[in-house]
Chains A and B, each alone.
Chain A
Amino acid sequence: MTTEVDSASEVKKESDQLGADTAKENPKETAENQQNQSSEPSPMAESQSSPRRRQKREKDSSEGRGISRFIPPWLKKQKSYNLVVAKDGGDKKEPSDAVVEEQILDKEESLPEEERQAKGDAEETAQRKQQEIKVAVKEERPSVSSAETQPVEVKKERNEEKVKEIAEDKSEEAAKRETKEVQTNELKAEKISQKTIKKTKTVQCKVILLDGTEYSCDLEKRAKGQVLFDKVCEHLNLLEKDYFGLLFQESSEQKNWLDSAKEIKRQLRNLPWLFTFNVKFYPPDPSQLTEDITRYFLCLQLRQDIASGRLPCSFVTHALLGSYTLQAELGDYDPEEHGDNDLSDFQFSPTQTKELEEKVIELHKTHRGLSPAQADSQFLENAKRLSMYGVDLHHAKDSEGVDIKLGVCANGLLIYKDRLRINRFAWPKILKISYKRSNFYIKVRPAELDQFESTIGFKLPSHRAAKRLWKVCVEHHTFYRLVSPEQPPKAKFLTLGSKFRYSGRTQAQTRQASTLIDRPAPHFERTSSKRASRTLDGDTVGVVDESLMKDRPGPGGQVSAYGPGVVSIAIIQDGDGRRDARIPTKGPQVQLIEGKRKGDHLFKDVLSMKEKYLMASSRTVEEKAQEADKSLEEEITSILFSENGFSANLKATFTSATTWTAEGTVVNYNVPEKLSSWPSSQSSEKRAPESEGPYTGASDAVKSSHETLNIVEEKKQAEVGKDERVIPEEMNGKEISPGSGPGETRKVEPLTQKDSTSLSSESSSSSSESEDEDVGEYRPHHHVTEGTIKEEQEEYEKEVDEEPGQAAKVVEREETVPEASLVKQAGASVTTVDTVIQENVVTLKIPAEKSINEGVVKQDMREETEDEQHKVNGEVSHVDIDVLPQIICCSEPPVVKTEMVTISDASQRTEISTKEVPIVQTETKTITYESPQIDGGAGGDSGTLLTAQTITSESVSTTTTTHITKTVKGGISETRIEKRIVISGDADIDHDEALAQAIREAREQHPDMSVTRVVVHKETKMEEGDE
């Protein structure tokens, strides 16, 4: 069924074909993979040839995508990753090329670095991981790790060869390539090893750990923060490390977080290499941490916080927490052993009194029988409820010069005056965070009755303080609110501002990864910082080894080929995105852990289906757990929705969202209008006179749409997550964040929806890398684009670009693509009804500033005026995506080789089927009924958007997507509700009846509004689809 197709869908069709090809090739490839992985064969040949093929292929097709079918799945993943790595060479246009190169270089590095891995330096990025696997396959004995020189050399030779080959290829193909890397390649192996020697300057670092002990290690001078952080975590045997970070003292007043993506040296400037290891993101619910050891470190941090007064608590709480500390560290109370005296070793509060100690002892006696881990858990359960738990305070002055404090926390920004909270901006309320010189600004959504968003400024003590606050905000927002990190803004020529973005894992990601932790609970010793000065020995063998190795910065050839020297190679070669090779040296378990710990996505193909499901289900469990915690928010939301006539089903859909909302904590103190949503009340009563709020009916919904909108966003995210479709996004987001421009990514991952994000952040991008940016902007909005298809996104972008003035203002982009979102291709026919209900005049053109609206409207117009075909495509392909489980960002050790085959197969098929759209022959018909007044809207100038809201609900045979937008134009406010109802089902559904019903319902739901347009789009299946 093909008729007219607009450009977007054309592109898609093309890729469809490619996809189909891929499908055919898939089995073959699978076989290859199997060979490759199941055991040793000659992976060399394999990996050599495949790059070449790829490159050739690339000539024909500029779009990297078609190539993918030649690439074994693992490589394919790497492709996107490499772009990241190649950030420095802004020009990289040939992903596959880059891949090849990277890979080889990696191999080079990886050899000697095996040791490092053992030590736990870790920058285990997904790429690395893949690297590991590869190497392992090659050597056919991953365990070879430690002092084996032989295999290393062999490998090296091979690598040399490869490098040469590629260099050739490149000279033909990769003209645009970034020079640094190319050169490096051409240097060939010998030179590289020379460099190794040259670059092995190391610096000694000291890190004060949470238990007060000191960890020191030697670091290559140009090492990035991540290297040190990973080393420390390895030393601590800590897997759930995303909650932690390293601080360095910039001045007596200021401490800064070490940015793991940047070189340590550049951040420290001339400061000593001295750090403290601290909790950076306090888990809102510590019980959800997977490992006791993580909780233990959190406890240590909190004890510090309490003793220092950063975390204020009452006398009773001091005593209670102190008693749990005693229980955890001393065990059950023993009157003989625990006389009154030894408590002076502990500090339970900033000012410790005898009275407090007595109370502590008294409570300690009541904890008899609690294990240390249980005591820690109890400690955390109580500590997490303290109001200042996890609040990072910054001194500032408000616009009137009054001293206040800004507290950054999981939920948003808190404003304190003295000890009193005087204001609060939840993340969903904040549209933009920026700083300029020593001023820090937040732009917040308009309050309910306001028209305009307001910007609130604060004066920080210094420029650096402002920047630090800004960064902390960006990081917290990303960590707690987003599913995956946003990519840094595209570097634009001649723009200013910080490009900084949080590049670590988000809470969602780290939790997900944690569910995979599968090691016996590590043994660790609980010691109070004040009492024990533990030595570093006896901890990790790796540490010891490391220091030994460090002393011998030999070239890669001897034992210390594994030594640190290698690191420098990596740096040289990769420029920015250096990844440390990590080769399994510690035996399978270590690998396993690593796989889980980091990027894993490269490995995602490796995951067996079973595991996928496992993960899915574990997630569900989590969700369930949190459901208990479910806030009113959900209830309100759903009721609000149902008030608007959505099916009750909705709620079911939304429950899953709890995962994110529970912690993300949109505060949902519901405002009175929502009272109606009071759970125990019946909806009929809601509007009973005595409980009537100031607003009624639909306007109610609109009024609260700020919050609601966000809720919806979150929910969507969660849903997507559940579909596991989000995963590619996540990975992308994450990997890309270190560096590559978003544009490149787009090419590589056409299905990536996250890309749209870049749009909104573009205006704040900067080409300046320096630490001294004067300004920075961050628009803390996640862009949930469920089911948005890449081509469409690009279209949007263009639209926005055409209006540069406005584009700069784009605050939030929500690309809601109704036809793609929730259409269930259930039966033989699909009927789409667009009902537009309006109050006053409809403006079809709405300022780009709120492109939620724009998206909707434009799309709408396009649909009406243009191709139906496109729509059909969109739907179908999307459904396919929906259905297919894509993977998760967790990897498994190479042990799973056979499964790897299976999966890669599966995941490939995913893409294929995505493309094989026209399975169903359909007849499409579109009828538009429109009341005359609507026309005015199209050309009319845009009003100010007040609120916009998108709601989706689903029932057995219908899917309803509703956009409610409220705009103000010339003093007249108008509310426009646009409903898309998709009725799907086979013959037993009377579509006409259903349609009539839908329109009737729409009328009933909004009696005070008029239906201005009805678009009926009907597709009827004509015959069985042929495959």
Chain B
Amino acid sequence: MGTPGEGLGRCSHALIRGVPESLASGEGAGAGLPTLDLAKAQREHGVLGGKLRQRLGLQLLELPPEESLPLGPLLGDIAVIQGDTALITRPWSPARRPEVDGVRKALQDLGLRIVEMGDESATLDGTDVLFTGREFFVGLSKWTNHRGAEFVADTFRDFAVSTVPVSGPSHLRSLCGMGGPRTVVAGSSEAAQKAVRAMAMLTDHPYASLTLPDDAAADCLFLRPGLPGVPPFLLHRGGGDLPNSQEALQKLSDVTLVPVSCSELEKAGAGLSSLCLVLSTRPHS
């Protein structure tokens, strides 16, 4: 278990899933989403994969796109991974539930312990789960219910799992994220601030919090690819996407900022936390 918070961001592998053409057509769960520029979205996705592999030095696994799963690239909703355990979620949208199969298989192949949610009444979107390194927060949102959150608690028993009410259409992770082992970053919207206040009340641990002008900027990934002595990375939305938040992000010392763009994918509801799953195949070594 190591020192508190140490578990946060440790990773050796990243898993992504290609962008299908169906995403641009607004089919499937994406009903009501604005049409998007498929090429641009695919480009963004490609750049993200490249950064994960080259900049962060992770082993990148890319699942092929499936036209039947337009939101397949948002695989962050499909699994919650901590340590050697992956909880395969039961997404709120029934249309997305078939997405779990490919992800499960990939994670299993990577040697993770797979936990399933057997309960028909439970819904859980992976991006409603925030792991801080010391505890879990699960957003009770439009997408995730109490029963779903319980599975998180049952799966990751070492950690406190607290529920955070999330109002509106957001996932918890689209409002806040971790900027470091002891730092929560959050957007400045009312929903984000409310969530952070709730978390502040629920936690036993001291965190700093950094408020960013844009909620989407808070959806960043703190990653530690593992080499000792190398400062951890913060994968975040770049200045092209969210110019207002860049300055505030500079305040995060001790991390190497790695900006990426996903403004086109964002139109389909994607954020950095949903576009990739990171894991460590040797979490306890």
Q: Does residue B43 face the partner (Cβ distance < 8 Å to A)? A: no
Cα-based distance from A667 to B204 in the complex (angstroms): 5
Q: How far is the CB of A607 from chain B (nearest CB, A)?
A: 36
Further pairs besides A418-B153, A424-B202: 18, Cβ < 8 Å: A314-B85, A315-B113, A316-B284, A317-B158, A387-B158, A420-B146, A420-B149, A420-B150, A421-B161, A423-B202, A667-B200, A668-B206, A670-B207, A672-B186, A672-B193, A690-B213, A690-B248, A692-B211
Set of chain B residues within 8 Å of A335, measured between Cβ atoms: none
Residues of B that sit less than 8 Å from A by CB: 1, 4, 83-85, 113, 134-135, 138, 146, 149-150, 153-154, 156-163, 182-184, 186, 188, 193, 196-197, 199-213, 244-245, 247-248, 251-254, 284
For the complex, what is the distance from the CA of A257 to the CA of B161, rounded to whole Å?
Answer: 29
The interface residues of chain B lying within 8 Å CB-to-CB of A689 are: 213
Roughly how many angstroms separate A669 CA and B4 CA in the complex, as a whole number? 15
Q: Considering the chains assembled together, what is the distance between the CA atoms of A419 and B150 in angstroms? A: 6
Specify the chain B residue showing the minimal Cβ separation from A675.
B211
* Contact B158 A417, beta carbon cutoff 8 Å: no
CB distance from A1027 to the nearest CB of B (A): 49
State whether B206 touches A631 (Cβ < 8 A). Answer: yes
A679 interface residue (CB < 8 Å to B): yes
Least CB distance, B216 to chain A, in whole angstroms: 14
Q: How far is the CA of A668 from the CA of B156 in the complex (A)?
A: 24
A373 vs B20: C-alpha distance in the bound complex, in angstroms?
57
Q: Which chain A positions have C-beta within 8 A of B247? A: 688, 690-691
Q: Which of chain B's residues have a CB closer than 8 A to the CB of A672?
A: 186, 188, 193, 196-197, 209, 211
Q: A314-B83, A385-B1, A672-B196 are in contact. Are A693 and B206 (CB under 8 A)?
A: no
Q: Residues of A contacting B153 with CB < 8 Å?
A: 418-420
Contact of B251 among A417, A422, A668, A680 (CB under 8 A): A680
Q: Which residue of A lies closest to B214 (CB)?
A: A690
Which A residues are CB-close (under 8 A) to B253?
680
Contact A675 B209 (CB under 8 A): yes
| Chain A residues in 8 Å Cβ range of B188 | 672, 692-693
The answer, yes or no, to whether A756 is at the interface (CB within 8 Å) is: no
Q: Are B244 and A690 in contact (CB under 8 A)?
A: yes
Q: Is A509 an interface position by the 8 A CB rule?
A: no
Report chain B residues within 8 Å CB of A417.
146
B203 interface neighbour in A315, A669, A681, A694, Cβ under 8 Å: A669
Which range holds the interface residue count of chain A?
35 or more
- In the complex, which residues of chain B have a beta carbon less than 8 angstroms from the beta carbon of A675? 208-211
Total A-B Cβ pairs within 8 A: 146
Contact: B1 with A667, CB < 8 Å?
no
Q: Which residue of B lies closest to A409 (CB)?
A: B204
Report whether B208 and A385 are in contact in the complex, using a CB–CB cutoff of 8 Å. no
Given A316-B284, A387-B160; A667-B193 close (CB under 8 Å): no
A154 at the interface (CB under 8 A from B): no
Q: Which residue of A lies closest to B183 (CB)?
A: A678
Is A729 an interface position by the 8 A CB rule? no
**Bound CA span A418–B154, Å:** 10
Separation of A313 and B197 alpha carbons in the complex (Å): 28
Tell me if A671 is interfacial: C-beta within 8 Å of chain B: yes
A668 and B199 alpha carbons, distance in the complex (Å): 11
- CB-based nearest A residue for B165: A422
Query: How far is A419 from B134 in the complex, measured between Cα atoms in Å?
Result: 16
State whether A632 touches B182 (Cβ < 8 A): yes
- Asked whether A287 is an interface residue with its Cβ less than 8 Å from the other chain, the reply is no
The answer to the question of A1001 belonging to the interface, with a C-beta cut-off of 8 Å to chain B, is no
Best-surrounded residue of B154, B183, B208 (most CB of chain A within 10 A): B208
Residues from chain A with a CB closer than 8 A to the CB of B199 are 669
By a CB distance below 8 angstroms, the chain B residues around A678 are 183, 208-210, 251
Q: Is the CB of A420 within 8 A of B163?
A: yes
Contact indicator A421/B207 (Cβ below 8 Å): no
Q: A423 with B206: in contact, given A385-B158, A680-B253 (CB under 8 Å)? A: no
A-B contact pairs, 18 of them (CB 8 A): A314-B83, A315-B113, A317-B1, A420-B138, A421-B161, A421-B162, A421-B163, A424-B201, A667-B206, A671-B197, A672-B209, A678-B208, A680-B252, A681-B251, A688-B247, A689-B213, A691-B213, A693-B193
Given contacts A387-B159, A690-B245, contact A674 B209 (CB under 8 A): yes
Contact A632 B208, beta carbon cutoff 8 Å? yes
Which residues of A in the span 889-920 have a Cβ within 8 Å of any Cβ on B? none
Tell me whether B201 and A386 are in contact (CB under 8 A). no
Taking CB atoms, residues of chain A closer than 8 Å to B84 are 316
Give Cα A680 to B208, complex, Å.
10
Residues of A within 8 A of B4 (CB): 385
Complex partner residue of B248 from A636, A671, A688, CB under 8 angstroms? A688
Contacts of B146 in A (CB 8 A): 417-418, 420
Complex Cα distance, B254 from A633, in Å, reads 20
Inter-chain contacts of A254 with B (CB < 8 A): none
Query: In the complex, which residues 303-324 of chain A have their Cβ closer than 8 Å to any Cβ of chain B?
Result: 312-317, 320
A665 at the binding interface (Cβ < 8 Å): yes
Measured CB to CB, the closest approach of chain B to A132, in angstroms, equals: 42
* Residues on B with beta carbons closer than 8 Å to the beta carbon of A690: 212-213, 244-245, 247-248
Q: Specify which chain B residues have a CB less than 8 angstroms from the CB of A424 in the assembled complex.
A: 162, 201-204
Q: B211 and A691: CB pair below 8 A?
A: yes
Q: How far is the CB of A685 from chain B (nearest CB, A)?
A: 7
| A418 in contact with B85 (CB, 8 Å) | no
Residue contact A387 to B135, C-beta cutoff 8 Å = yes
When the two chains form their complex, are residues A669 and B161 in contact, meaning their CB atoms are under 8 A apart? no
Partner of A669, one of B85, B209, B245: B209
Shortest Cβ distance from residue B131 to the other chain A in the assembled complex, whole angstroms:
13
Bound Cα distance from A422 to B154, whole angstroms: 15
A378 to chain B: closest CB distance in Å?
Answer: 10
Binary contact track A619-655/B, C-beta < 8 Å → 1, others 0: 0000000000001110110000000000000000000
